[in-house]
Structure 1
Amino acid sequence: MLHRALEGVRVLDLSRILAGPWCTQNLADLGAEVTKVEHPERGDDTRGWGPPYLEAPEGSGDTQRLSGYFICCNRGKRSVAIDYGTPEGAAQVRELARAADVLVENYKVGTLRRYGLDYDTLKAINPRLVYLSVTGFGQSGPMADKPGYDYVFQGMGGLMSYTGQPDGTPGAGPLRTGVAVVDLSTGMYATSAVLAALYQRQATGLGAHLDIALLDVAVAMNANQAANYLVSGQNPQRSGNAHPNCAPYEVFRCADGHLILAIGNDSQFARFCAVAGMPGLAQDPCYATNSARIEHLPALRTLLTDLFPTRTRAAWTDAFDAAGVPWGPIHTMDEVFAHPQVQHRGLMQVAEHPVMGRVPMVRNPMLAGHDLPLPAPPLLGEHSPAGCTARSYP
């Protein structure tokens, strides 16, 4: 179990929205001391990305509120309100950086140089600083000066080209995912890079400038789809809920709802066929192997689409569990957090904030077995000027 593994590591967070804050929240969850620098009036953009909002309790005398979006990626941080567009504010941030181990920023290339907050300037006053830059396109190249958002990279990186219903079917066309997966994956890659740089610093004594680009992550996270293309030269096609390499591996409608059938090998398919009352199907040359099932998927899908509505979802899933056939439900959020395994794992936790009261959050998957309460996200400027200004930063 990880227990404050990064205690003593100081992180200066100049990032906002999701990719950068997701990284710094990971570092805070692992025990780092994270100071989030926000504009005194606007704060992080996502403070206003609602509804929904968590309002201060009646009688608290505070009018601030926390958006659900901000809550998801800013727990455990201290918020200092500094306008580093002014010479005084920039000087304060430089003093914070002098004592920091890590700085995370996600501005357009060259923006922070105007205020003397770029890597070269801060390296001169703190050679041990690990400086992470998260941008849309990276620190160099023909598009380095352009901004970019998750949605853009879901399309540009290829993800949307094979996500959605196939041409010629109802609802056909490219489809984005329901959550900002490129931002989140970028935050995770960034976390790994920061940890590696801190480990490297133990040997070299020097920090590093880390260049993490959403475009790079979007291309990398194509994973098997990219490898399939590089091996075959064929663009992957939209396949709806079906898997490009395994079959049957998709959503089917039962008599009273949907389920996910996830057959990963031939023995699992044979057990499924026995449950379905068609044991001979597993010996049919068209379906006996995974490759054959992929080749004959349209016919197999038609057969199963007709079969599943003959039983209720519970009838199917009870039989699948007894036979060891992999399946899964499609839960709404209320069903997710009511699920006994989710509750057993403690994935929904509540933090206590001195003003906002109880703040519900999702536990970091890295902290399984962690029995300490999670800290709440901060109000704008909660820790300044009396808490963590440049002059009082410990």
Structure 2
Amino acid sequence: MYAKCKCVEDARRVFDGMRVKDVISWTSLSSCYVTYGLPRQGLEEFREMMLNGVRPNVVTVSSILPACSELKTLNSGREIHGFVVKNEMGENLFVCSALVSMYASCLSIRHAQLVFDNMYRRDVVLWNVILTAYFSNKECEKGLELFYQMRNEYVKLNDASWNAVICGCVQNGKTELALEMLGLMQDLGFKPNQITITSVLPACTSLESLRTGKEIHGYIYRHLFIKDLTTTTALVFMYAKCGDLELSLRVFNMMPKKDTVAWNTIIIANSMHGKGEEALLLFEKMLDSGAKPNSVTFTGVLSGCSHSQLVDKGLLIFDSMSRDYSTEPDVDHYSCMVDVLSRAGRIEQAYEFIQRMPIEPTAAAWGALLSACRVHRNVELAKIAAKKLFEIEPHNPGNYVLLSNIFSTANLWEEASEIRKLMSDRRIIKEPGCSWV
């Protein structure tokens, strides 16, 4: 009871007070730890149970294997698999599903497939687990092959199977295929649910397919999914990414409840469209609403300051992060601030800011400085930034070409030629650009 009510400490207290602890009580405690984000403690209780001579049952095993998945402890998982084989639990569907998931999470997809192949009886849950395993491990083609095999074997498809395939296609960059699967799903009489919609909206975002996005929006409205926070947040981002900021704002304003993720999405949307002032205004509204900003919030706000050259506002917000919001700036925030200063033409100040950074500057920070040096024709700082970039990402052709162009603009033809020769010596080739409508 305490475990189901998420009272982990109370569950532990009752357990410790028990004179006799059987397999059910041990399983309840270890499962409680795993369920509520304490997988390491769950495994420790499982080991303690074994040391006390209590033999785990199929429920114990299937509930503890997710701890190995979360911790990526392949050795522990294999030890439990050995126990499963020795104690003839290998035909239990719950145990096998947990084993397949564990091996997949530990990037041992071959062993996941072996467990799956050895099952003489497979239910839809086991099929869904192996499908998700392949898609999660970026093996989209094999996942699709299994999906078609599943259909051919007349296994009953529930919505989870389709969701696994659609989500897997999106995660593997097969966005057009994801939309095809959505159509096929409906043709075969299956109704997309909220998980389906949330999974497929990023495909519209990636393809910047506004028409398809609007069709899905219509489906959301007709099936009353509009009240779901995750779905509407995905809609907000889709419209912004597809270039319709007005519709993005309209959906956002219609949301009855807005969490931090929703606020972050609309702030980033405005920043993407160069609306820095609007992003700042939304940030203030977010604070007034009681939503707590996080690291992503500040990345979005600072990005907006960068695009709109709001240097002083950017500096004030950056300084307030740790002081007022208990959020320590990370490397992305420092890179954003370098970009804020660089875009506004304060490249000397940007360089000083980089030198004062308490963490190692990334390619993004040096790249922002190098780009600004081209605009403002500062050759000396360009040399410094490029040298750092050549160390961090020596095979990125863009840095070499940019420095060469800076030298050319300054009529430093010999230096420009040396950079081109350096590219040739290192066998670095710039891919030709193309325009696509």
Q: TM-score, normalised by structure 1?
A: 0.27
Question: Which is higher, the Rg of structure 1 or of structure 2?
Answer: 2
Q: Which has the higher helix share?
A: 2
Q: TM-score, normalised by structure 2?
A: 0.25
Relative contact order (C-alpha < 8 Å, sep 6+): which is higher? 1
Q: Which has the higher strand share?
A: 1
